[in-house]
Amino acid sequence: MKDWFRKGSPWIWLSGGAVTISMVMVVGLVAMIAVKGLSHFWPKPVVEFNYQTAEQSEPVRVIGEISRSETTTAAAMREAGFNVPEDQDVVVRHLVKRGNRDVTGQDFVWYMESFMSDPRYPEEILVLERLQWGDFYGYLQGFLIDGEVVAVGAEARTAFERTLRDTAKGVRELNGIERGEIGDVNFRMEQLRRQERALELNENISDQERAEARQSIAQRRAELDEQYAVLAERRNELRAELSRYAITMETMEGQVRTLPFNTLVHGWRPNEMNIFQKMGHYARSFWDFISGYPREANTEGGILPAIYGTVLMVLLMSIVVTPFGVLAAIYLREYAKQGPITQLIRISVNNLAGVPSIVFGVFGLGFFVYFLGGSIDEMFYRETLPSPTFGSPALIWASLTLALLTLPVVIVSTEEGLSRIPRSIRDGSLALGATKAETLWRTVVPLAAPAMMTGLILAVARAAGEVAPLMLVGVVKMAPSLPLDGNYPFLHLDRAFMHLGFHIFDVGFQSPNVEAGRPLVYATAMVLVFLIVVLNLAAMVIRNRLREKYRMESD
Amino acid sequence: MNQSTPSPSSHRPMPVQVLPDGAARKRLRRWRGFKDSAAKYSVGAFGMGVILALALIFIYLFSEVLPMLRPAAMTVYTSYEAPGGRSADTVHMAMDRHELVGVRYTTDRQAVFFDVGDGSERYRETLPLPADATVTTFGLAEPRTRLVIFGLDNGQALLVRHDFNERFSPDGRQYDPTLEFPLGEGDATLMNVAEDGASIAAIAVQRGSTGTSVAAALEDGRMRLLRFEERSNFMTGAVTVRQQAYDIPALPDNAQPRRILLDITMRNLLVGDDQGRLHYYDVSRPAQAQWVESKRVTLRRDAQVQSMEYLLGTVSVIVGGSDGTVSQWMLVRDEDNVNRLVSVRHFDSHSGPVMGIAPEYLRKGFATFDDRGEIKLHYSTTARTLVSLDTGERPLSRVHLAPRASALFAIDDNEQVHLVSVRNPHPEVSVRALWSKIWYEGRSQPEYIWQSSSATDEFEPKFSLVPLTLGTLKAAFYAMLFATPLAILGAVYSAYFMSPRLRQVVKPSIEIMEAVPTVILGFLAGLWFAPFVESHLPAVFSILFLMPLALIVAGFVWMRLLPEALSNRIPAGWEAALLVPVVILVGWFAVGMSPHLENWFFAGDMRQWLTDVGYTYDQRNSLVVGVAMGFAVIPTIYSISEDAVFNVPKHLTQGALALGATPWQTVTRVVLLTASPGIFSAVMIGFGRAVGETMIVLMATGNSPVMNFNIFEGMRTLSANIAVEMPEAAVGGTHYRILFLAALVLFVITFLLNTVGEVVRQRLRRRYGSL
């Protein structure tokens, strides 16, 4: 033993353990996000049990999904105000998602295992996803048309399923009208208002021209009003049609609730589903999550606007950062005189990658938003002042700020790629009579292209995950309209946007119902991690290929 | 390459010429030369532009901080004869917030409204004062209330408020100045302070939600307190005023009151006397008004209190002595919960008696002036005298600061008005205010506090960067405490001992963690890890203790206790893989045992136990941040130090091994020493990352700016503070600029840390090259 210690073997094992711990944490983190994020869409069994604490004379029926369980000490529970029997030291408790927020007010409640009866899994339990108030759990009782019960029991079930399928189309159309078409009309109205205001401010036109312009605006406004009226009528029609149908449901307390169809999204019976049905449900829920709009303060629904905003912002950033970063790197490596100053610049650029991102955010807010944006408003958008157009956090400023933030990444990576190109290739090109520019553009740059690609991918990965600077320069928790849509000028650089990272922060920390939002946060985190890991792996693969290639060529 | 046209054929048939002729080649060469230099210059311009853009960040941040460093300035803008004529003395002057219209009250009972720019009269009103009485003294409520009280020589007093009634019309701003009498019209306007007609020597007024209070000192040394309670009838809305008068005990030692002040709560009465002392009376129950204590406020014993004024919020009082001293006093509760007068700070003295004090409307600043025409501008929180101005040799009789403190009136004894423009946008900032303990209003001692905003207007902004800096260091410290050992040990192992095949998997996996968005780490830390730690505290500490032990024991068991046939099957370099089940088991065991440990050792609840022992426990605390941010820093440190260790020249280690050193001896004596600069730079760069990290601390702590290193409490870091407060800060304000300063500090710190790390690393690389 002593000998073993003297040889230093324990320390080798200890340092090996350090690697193991790091790896376990890394893998554990990814696995946890993946499991928690992916399992959210799997239809969990709904459990029904009777709950009777010491004080209660009658057991209470509870219906819900077990969200998570934990083991704590009885003392801590007593401290928190729960009545735990004296003989218990350790308490197992389950967090049950009971849904029905509009009925009970509390959709997540802890239950202690020792007071729970054996769980039952009745196949008849129906789970409803609703537009408001979260999920609903209960037993289907009757099917109503215009307030009249037309079917009960098994008939109600078939009628419910059929009607849900039929109304799905109507719900989609209604959503389309409310979100898209009416929004478009409003946007055009707003533009007209701006033109009108600009007309008033413009002193260089004659009264007659002004009157004519006014008239054309009034005419267009009348057209828009008409369009709006048509849309509103169709909307009301659809709403009326949808609200004709309703179902009655029995809750866990035995209350009967009427739920009209225009509030329902999906309905399923998790305890009855077989594995394939569950998989189908899973795929549909996942697709809804990826392609849907958020509801209920972002704690329900999908994350499409966040994905859309992230991707668009990153794309714009790439368009800016690639040429500038690559040119700066070419300048530094190929044209600048190599000496202490170049070396200094190189180190500084490298170090900028380590400067906290929030500093870039502060710079972006002060310089881009307030200074540049303010000046643009002053010059081109006088008619909307004092409400800012470009002088407030916006997509373009976020992209520019992140472009600045990721410039060092691209520069460093490109430079590295350029420095890896064997000297012989350059010399060969020059010896054949090519000028320096020709050598660069025709041999060196194409060879270094994968390195630039790597830099760009790394930049994208970094930009997609940054949140702190974006909180200052352009991200909002709920953007009313997408930054790219069918209204002229299509790409609205002045709009604030939603972002996956900020979505996580917002739902996890600023939402009124953290417990309800938690699964969605995990799912969003999973999407983001997946995106970033894939991007980084791609960068790594490209880099390794590149290395191999030059190793062979320089041999 | 553009193919030039074949040269025109001559009279003799020639073989077809493939090469372009000389002229075309020359053209082509020139064109290529042009392209070459165009590329050179445009790339140069772009490259330099990008680098300049990056430099712009620093320059811009600095330019936003710079205005705070510019000193304040006062310049006489214009000067004119007092509006309304020199025949009467000025009692009081004021102006509106746009510095367009002013008002001057005179001893001959006039209120003259005038243009601030040139002193031309606009409107005048006669005050309803008895013709035979003269104004002996006057008092001001808080400046923003525009409430003035005049004390007369017949024992009466008049309360009046001027209103500029500004409104907007298409032709610009319009003013309809008026006078109001808050106590009512007619006979009610005048109040009888002394029924026997004694002359009033000093008077003070405050008007709160419940009514008005007036305190007055009479010529013969008696003091009176008058309360006017206003009750409005719910049905008719008519206001009835009920007046009550109280006598205040006289000053001790036969002192004569010089100035008298009442605070906005109407509970505290301060009297300055002719012996240079300040007296404090508790008048919360006026019928039992009692003297509490007296303090000397002037430096010279024979000096008297010349002037005295409350600052905004009527918490602290500025006292000017006839010997030129200017000092700030506050009521501070002592251990017995009794208010005591405390000298908070002194300001630059005047060379003559301090004739008056003019407080600012919206900040804790004030101006003082003396009988030699000098005006000084001070700011209370920073204890700074910002600027002084000499208006000439004549004594000044009144000074009044404009509501936005960007101008002031100064009137000399010849009734000449000097309009002074004041540039003083950031008086709240000084090195002292940012970095030392400051005695803030309402506190019992000097403290480091960061509190940038509040709901009330009287709020004193507290801009101490110390709690934020300490919080930043605290977060970084715990993160490094967690990350450094793991990362460096791991780096040494994977660079030196690990089998290449395993290393190919492990290294990229850990490195890829660097790219995981910190918002995800922060969210996991705040929503999952923090509650987990709270309910499994013993598990955290038992893992800390058990894990190293278990690793070593596992190693011993594997190498010594298991049959060699088994342990030889897995070659050296795979220890890390073997330890995976050990690590998982230990973690699982510790978590499973946690409730039992709590029951056995901590009376069932370790959190409660900690609180009982005297440690505050926040759910989102430094422990959580340390682990989460450590997690974010591990890849950085690991990656750089792994490179450093891996690149230690092989002949060094082989030499050591050949001389009989064990592998571990080689590591500690040769490898680590050679690679130490690289490891140092890894730690530097990791530290830089921890200092600037925003989202993790924002989400995993309570963000309260505390001043301790308790691992169970949170912190607020510079970066999180910027993220929280920047969107709300008013553009161009002091708060905004201080946040820029915080960003600049972060920038410089991380830039320096990275530079040190980078330079060390490059040196090391060169040394490896030469070895």
Contact B47 A327 (CB under 8 A): yes
We report the CATH number of the domain holding residue B506 as 1.10.3720.10
Contact A354 B498 (CB under 8 A): no
Query: Which residue of A1, A12, A468 is in closest CB contact with B723?
Result: A468
Q: Is residue B526 part of a domain?
A: yes
Other Cβ atoms within 10 Å of B184 Cβ, number: 14
pLDDT tens for residues B575-620?
Answer: 888 889 999 999 999 988 888 888 888 877 788 888 888 888 888 8
Question: Is B582 touching A (CB cutoff 8 A)?
Answer: yes
Q: Is residue B316 part of a domain?
A: no
Query: Which residue of B497, B526, B726 is in closest CB contact with A362?
Result: B726
Rounded to whole angstroms, how far apart are CA atoms B296 and A280?
86
Other Cβ atoms within 10 Å of A55 Cβ, number: 6
**In chain A, which among 429-468 make CB contacts under 8 A with chain B?**
435-438, 440-441, 458, 461-462, 464-468
Domain spans, chain A: 47-121, 139-262, 304-407+466-554
Contact A366 B60 (CB under 8 A): yes
Question: Is B579 touching A (CB cutoff 8 A)?
Answer: yes
- Chain-centroid distance, C-alpha B428: 9
Q: Which residues of A touch B39 (CB under 8 A)?
A: 436-437, 440-441
Contact A465 B519 (CB under 8 A): yes
Contact B551 A508 (CB under 8 A): no
Backbone angles phi, psi at B324, to 5 degrees: 90, 0
For all residues of chain B together, what is the average pLDDT? 86
Q: Is residue B660 part of a domain?
A: yes
pLDDT at B377: 92
Give the model's confidence band at B393: pLDDT under 50 very low, under 70 low, under 90 confident, else very high.
Answer: confident
Q: Which residue of B has its CA nearest to A539?
A: B512
Q: Would strands B239-248 and B257-262 be described as parallel, antiparallel, or unpaired?
A: unpaired
Q: pLDDT under 70 in chain A at which residues?
A: 1, 550-555
- How many angstroms separate the CA of residue B736 from the nearest CA in chain A? 10
Rounded to whole angstroms, how far apart are CA atoms B299 and B276?
8
Query: Which residue of B509, B575, B695 is in closest CB contact with A23?
Result: B509
pLDDT at A381: 81
pLDDT at B199 > cutoff 60: yes
Contact B519 A411 (CB under 8 A): no
Average pLDDT, integer, range B326-349: 89
Q: Which residues of B touch A23 (CB under 8 A)?
A: 506, 509-510, 576, 580
Q: Is residue B247 part of a domain?
A: no
pLDDT at B8 > cutoff 60: no
Gyration radius from chain A CA atoms? 31
- How many angstroms separate the CA of residue A451 from the nearest CA in chain B? 18
Peptide bond into B517 cis (omega under 30): no
Query: Which residue of B49, B512, B727 is in closest CB contact with A533?
Result: B512
pLDDT at B478: 94
Query: Which residue of A25, A366, A435 is in closest CB contact with B64?
Result: A366
Mutate one of A3, A4, A5, A19 to test the B interface: name it (highest B CB count within 10 A).
Answer: A19
Contact B309, B205 (CB under 8 A): no
Give the model's confidence band at B1: pLDDT under 50 very low, under 70 low, under 90 confident, else very high.
Answer: very low
pLDDT at A20: 92
Mutate one of B50, B509, B589 to test the A interface: name it (highest A CB count within 10 A).
Answer: B50
Question: Is B628 touching A (CB cutoff 8 A)?
Answer: no
Question: Is A418 touching B (CB cutoff 8 A)?
Answer: no
Contact A472 B723 (CB under 8 A): yes
Rounded to whole angstroms, how far apart are CA atoms B560 and B554?
10
Rounded to whole angstroms, how far apart are CA atoms A448 and A442?
11
Mutate one of A2, A3, A21 to test the B interface: name it (highest B CB count within 10 A).
Answer: A21
pLDDT at B493: 92
Query: Which residue of A73, A345, A471 is in closest CB contact with B604?
Result: A73
Tokens found for residue B304: 């008297």
Rounded to whole angstroms, how far apart are CA atoms B556 and B685?
36
Question: Is B598 touching A (CB cutoff 8 A)?
Answer: yes
Question: Which of B245-249, B261-265, B457-461 comes out lowest in average pLDDT?
Answer: B457-461
Give long-range contacts, CB 8 A cutoff, 24+ apart: A102-107.
A102/A132, A102/A133, A103/A251, A103/A253, A103/A255, A103/A257, A104/A253, A107/A134, A107/A135, A107/A513, A107/A515, A107/A516
State the ipTM, two decimals.
Answer: 0.89
Question: Is B43 touching A (CB cutoff 8 A)?
Answer: yes
* DSSP one-letter code for B667: I
pLDDT at B638: 93
Contact A345 B51 (CB under 8 A): yes
Give the model's confidence band at B4: pLDDT under 50 very low, under 70 low, under 90 confident, else very high.
Answer: very low
Strand order in the sheet with A47-51: A47-51, A60-73, A90-97, A108-112
Question: Is A375 touching B (CB cutoff 8 A)?
Answer: no
pLDDT at B492: 92
Tokens found for residue B760: 């060390």
Q: How many CB pairs under 8 A join A and B?
A: 352
pLDDT at B10 > cutoff 50: no
Average pLDDT, integer, range B48-53: 84
pLDDT at B3: 47
User: B415, B588, B493, B404: which is closest to A15 by C-alpha?
Assistant: B493
pLDDT at A552: 63
**In chain B, which among 63-92 make CB contacts under 8 A with chain A?**
64
Give the model's confidence band at B631: pLDDT under 50 very low, under 70 low, under 90 confident, else very high.
Answer: very high
Question: Which of B232-246, B408-422, B708-722 comes out lowest in average pLDDT?
Answer: B232-246
Q: Is residue B525 part of a domain?
A: yes
Contacts (Cβ under 8 Å, ≥6 apart) of B34: none
pLDDT at B5 > cutoff 70: no
Question: Is A350 touching B (CB cutoff 8 A)?
Answer: yes
pLDDT at B13: 60
Query: Which residue of A1, A411, A501 is in closest CB contact with B517?
Result: A501
Query: How would you label B70-99 residue by residue, b for 16+ Cβ within 10 Å and e otherwise?
Result: eebebeeeeeeebbbeeebbbbbbbbbeeb
Question: Is A81 touching B (CB cutoff 8 A)?
Answer: no
Question: Is B581 touching A (CB cutoff 8 A)?
Answer: no
Q: Is residue B531 part of a domain?
A: yes
Q: Which residues of B touch A354 (CB under 8 A)?
A: 685, 688-689, 692, 750-751, 753-754
pLDDT at A555: 47
Question: Is A335 touching B (CB cutoff 8 A)?
Answer: yes
Q: Which residues of B touch A70 (CB under 8 A)?
A: 535
**In chain B, which among 491-550 make CB contacts under 8 A with chain A?**
492-494, 497-498, 506, 508-510, 512-513, 515-520, 522-524, 526-528, 535, 547-548
Q: Would strands B110-115 and A47-51 be described as parallel, antiparallel, or unpaired?
A: unpaired
Peptide bond into A386 cis (omega under 30): yes
pLDDT at B542 > cutoff 60: yes
Provide the domain limits for residue B610: 466-770
Indicate the number of domains in chain B. Answer: 1
Q: Which residues of A touch B587 (CB under 8 A)?
A: 24
- How many angstroms separate the CA of residue A203 from the nearest CA in chain B? 17
